[in-house]
Structure 1
Amino acid sequence: MFITIAAAVVCVSAAVLPAAAELRRMNDDRNNPTRLLQVPTRRSQVEQLRTHS
């Protein structure tokens, strides 16, 4: 019985923790002052070069 409960906790944690971390990253990215200023970053410049090539 204990093994079943432990396995269920591990499985739920393996699914929930990365999703929660991704949601936090997305929220931090949305509230990033640099992003709010819409200053072109190196990443966006590289992406523009890829799409125009």
Structure 2
Amino acid sequence: MSIAMFVWTFGDFVDAIVLAAVAILFAVFVVVMLFFKAWEYLENRSNRKRAKKGGRR
């Protein structure tokens, strides 16, 4: 009985760890995506400014 209880609680523990790991990975993925979107946006803005100043070749 105690072994079964231990396995049961250990299973819950593993589930919690897996859920936490998935949540962390998802959060990191979202942050990286947002970072790249922001980087792209800033690069495009600076490129547009440069194009306006320099004119088209």
TM-score using structure 2 length: 0.49
Task: State the SS of the aligned residue for 2:24.
Answer: helix
Aligned counterpart, 2:55: 39
Which has the higher relative contact order, 1 or 2, with Cα contacts under 8 A spaced 6 or more apart?
Answer: 1
Gaps of 5+ in 2: 1-15
Specify which of 10, 18, 31 is matched with residue 16 of structure 1. 31
Q: Alpha carbon RMSD of aligned pairs, Å?
A: 2.3
* 1:25 partnered with 2:9: no
SS in 2 for 1:40: coil
Percent identity over the alignment is 12
Which 4+ runs in 1 deviate beyond 3 A? none
Q: How far apart, in 1, do the equivalents of 2:52 and 2:24 lie?
A: 38
Q: What TM-score results when the alignment is normalised by the length of structure 1?
A: 0.51
Aligned residues: 41
CA distance in 1, matches of 2:23, 2:36: 20
* Consecutive unaligned residues in structure 1, runs of 5 or more: 42-53
Give the corresponding residue for 2:8. none
More helix by share: 2
